[in-house]
A and B are shown apart, each in its own frame.
Chain A
Amino acid sequence: MDEAKRAEIKGHIDDAYEVGCDLVALGRSIETKYIFGPIANNEHYKISEIMAIVHEVNDEHNPEA
């Protein structure tokens, strides 16, 4: 996953993020949407990499946590 793709994924996670949401469910949802659509088709990314971005987004929304 290059930096451009990472930024793209982060944007999608940020769009879907809601305060207090289930982070694992959010990560899996993004993973699925990249494989089966509608974000992309057949793009596979490790869930651990996606979850790292999810937590990054979560931290940005909860700077005091």
Chain B
Amino acid sequence: MTLPSDMDSREFSKFREREDGQCAVAVDLGNADVSTGGGGGGDATYRSPEDFTVAYTSAETITLSGLPYTPTTVQFVSVKVQVSADKAVTYSPTGSAFSYAAGVLTVAGATFAATDEYVVTVIGPDKAYTAVTTSNRNTETDPLSAQHTPVCLVDTTNISAATHYYPSATGGTMDGYKDISATGKFIDADGTLTLTLEVSNDEDAATADFNAIKFHDDDSLVDAEVASLTVTNGTLLITASKANLNYRRYRWVVVASGATNTVILYERKKAL
């Protein structure tokens, strides 16, 4: 590490080289000596209102909520109070006695008011580093494992004697998804209900040529690739799926021979 010319040896002593080669910085907080930048070298400063919320409690107390850890008194750095549009007052542990317990921060001599806005700064555990496991934390935004869409395609009685498409005649998109499944029930006492699955990669959904493909009947008594599921004069429970449905659009097709029936289809698409 190179010491800047304008930095004296006392300031240099604040920098510490860790075993892994990263730099840690000791910050003098008046009545606290807290190292930041340790571990993963991430952010260890928590500040309201972004990281937690602060509410007025009394002239000398404010209540903190939403902090992901329980701070101790010595970890508080400052309390900035916006008392009016153009005036702020900042309290620090060097000038005022801070004490914290059970979510309530007391600042001796403060004159908080209910209409004040607060920016409370407190040091805590590194946001990106877990000291106990000596590991960096990585958070994935909108992970694939969370990308799944359950939807009720149809839950009705007495669909007409015709061909019906779900979610629509122009199909649903598989963009962003990999697998699809459908469960439901067909009941027809005097006719036939048939379920098939059609797909297309055509860019124009309105004129796309959909073609039927096989899907898997997951029913424990079947467990096989099928071209369709059919019930005649009876009840059929549906558990159909298609893994890696690598097509642009798809549509479930229900053909009803009569107009007295029960048709239920619940669909789930997932990305992972």
- A and B bind: yes
Spell out A's residues near B (CB within 8 Å): 31-32, 35-36, 41-46, 48
A46 B158 Cβ-Cβ under 8 A = no
B157 A42 Cβ-Cβ under 8 A = no
B189 A46 Cβ-Cβ under 8 A = no
Spell out B's residues near A (CB within 8 Å): 155-158, 187, 189-190, 235, 260-262
B157 A46 Cβ-Cβ under 8 A = yes
Chain A hits for B187, CB < 8 A: 35, 44
Q: Complex formed: what's the CA distance from A46 to B157 in Å? A: 6
Tell me the interface secondary structure of chain A in the complex.
Answer: mixed
Distance in angstroms from A11 CB to nearest chain B CB is 20
A41 B189 Cβ-Cβ under 8 A = yes
Of chain A, the residue at the smallest CB distance from B191 is A42
Distance in angstroms from A51 CB to nearest chain B CB is 12
Q: Top 9 A-B pairs ranked by shortest CB distance?
A: A44-B157, A42-B189, A42-B260, A44-B262, A35-B189, A42-B190, A44-B158, A36-B189, A35-B187
Chain B hits for A35, CB < 8 A: 187, 189, 262
Q: Complex formed: what's the CA distance from A44 to B261 in Å? A: 6
Chain B hits for A42, CB < 8 A: 189-190, 260
- 9 additional A-B pairs beyond A44-B158, A46-B155, A46-B157, beta carbons within 8 Å, are A32-B235, A35-B187, A41-B189, A42-B189, A44-B157, A44-B187, A44-B261, A46-B156, A46-B262
A45 B157 Cβ-Cβ under 8 A = yes
Q: Complex formed: what's the CA distance from A35 to B157 in Å? A: 11
Chain B hits for A32, CB < 8 A: 235
Chain A hits for B189, CB < 8 A: 35-36, 41-42
Chain B hits for A31, CB < 8 A: 262
Best-buried of A31, A41, A42, A43 by chain B (most CB within 10 Å): A42
